[in-house]
């Protein structure tokens, strides 16, 4: 039954892009806050549908750590779920992503209306300059920046080297870093249709001040906190199986 529900949910989610994305192109003339609300309504709907149809809920620990102003979020990336649910959990934000995603018909075009920081990953140091320049503009305008420092989805219990782009942005601009851990991959596995009911645990860590620090030290502090917290969350999820 869960396999059938998962297939129906996945088919509905991606088919709806073909209908919703073209409509969102008409929001292009609107102010960013209006566009953001309209476009991310799709994500919030599918978080609600996952709760009702698949039994995938979530709880958040550490909301009190969210700073009042803009910040750079360094978060674990395990599944599609967090790209949807973070629209509910965090203030309006933009992603750092590879520019090729914006070339996808319909989906990429609508994504571009959210003003993501689209970079050429093959550009080396120039890619970092892109992150800092575009990120500074977004942060100074009050929009948060969301970074998945491992660069791709990573299965539970595994990790990849943390890239420094998000930390460099935070240090260069002086905005704080907010580390985030979660165990979504146990319930919404990457590259699999079958999903498991349960409660995803999202933990928001204390904000890390960046002024007067190096990007390497900020990244190390965030990585240490995230991976230490992930060990707890992975054990918690495994115990409930």
Task: Please state, in angstroms and rounded to a whole number, the distance separating the CA atoms of residues 75 and 178.
Answer: 8
Asked if 57 and 126 touch (Cβ cutoff 8 Å), the reply is no
Task: Please state, in angstroms and rounded to a whole number, the distance separating the CA atoms of residues 21 and 41.
Answer: 12
What's residue 124's pLDDT?
66
Asked if 185 and 78 touch (Cβ cutoff 8 Å), the reply is yes
pTM score: 0.93
pLDDT tens digit at each of 241 positions of the chain: 899 999 999 999 989 988 999 999 999 999 999 999 999 999 999 999 999 999 999 999 999 999 999 999 999 999 999 999 999 999 999 998 888 888 888 888 888 999 999 887 666 678 888 899 999 999 999 999 999 999 899 999 999 999 999 999 999 999 999 999 999 999 999 888 999 999 999 999 999 999 999 999 999 999 999 999 999 999 888 777 6
- Give the domains, in start order, of the chain with CATH numbers: 2-239 (3.40.1130)
What's residue 241's pLDDT?
67
Task: Please state, in angstroms and rounded to a whole number, the distance separating the CA atoms of residues 99 and 102.
Answer: 6
Q: Which residues pair with 97 in a beta bridge?
A: 118
Task: Please state, in angstroms and rounded to a whole number, the distance separating the CA atoms of residues 134 and 23.
Answer: 27
DSSP string, 15-39: HHHHHHHHHHGGGTTS-HHHHHHHH
CA 217 to chain CA mean position, Å:
22
What's residue 71's pLDDT?
98
Among 49, 56, 48, CA closest to 9: 49
What's residue 120's pLDDT?
79
């Amino acid at each position: 039954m869960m396999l059938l529900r998962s297939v129906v949910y996945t088919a509905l989610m991606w088919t709806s892009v073909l209908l919703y994305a073209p409509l969102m192109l008409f929001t292009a003339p609107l102010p960013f806050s209006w566009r953001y609300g309209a476009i991310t309504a799709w994500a919030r709907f599918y978080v609600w549908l996952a709760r009702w149809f698949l039994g995938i809920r979530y709880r958040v620990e550490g909301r009190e750590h969210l700073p009042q102003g803009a910040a750079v979020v360094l978060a674990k990336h395990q599944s599609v779920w967090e790209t949807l649910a973070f629209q509910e959990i965090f203030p309006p934000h933009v992603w750092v992503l590879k520019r090729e995603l914006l070339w996808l018909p319909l989906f990429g075009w609508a994504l571009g209306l959210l003003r993501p920081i689209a970079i050429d990953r093959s550009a080396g140091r120039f890619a970092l300059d892109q992150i800092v320049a575009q990120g500074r503009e977004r942060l100074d305008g009050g929009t948060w920046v969301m970074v998945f420092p491992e660069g791709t989805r990573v299965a539970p219990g595994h990790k990849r080297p943390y890239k420094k782009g998000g930390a460099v942005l935070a240090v260069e601009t002086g905005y704080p870093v907010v580390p985030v851990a979660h165990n979504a991959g146990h319930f919404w596995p990457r590259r699999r249709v079958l999903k498991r009911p349960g409660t995803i645990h999202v933990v928001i860590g204390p904000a890390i001040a960046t002024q007067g620090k190096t990007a390497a030290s900020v990244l190390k502090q965030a990585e240490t906190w995230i991976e230490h917290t992930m060990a707890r969350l992975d054990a918690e999820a495994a115990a409930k199986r």
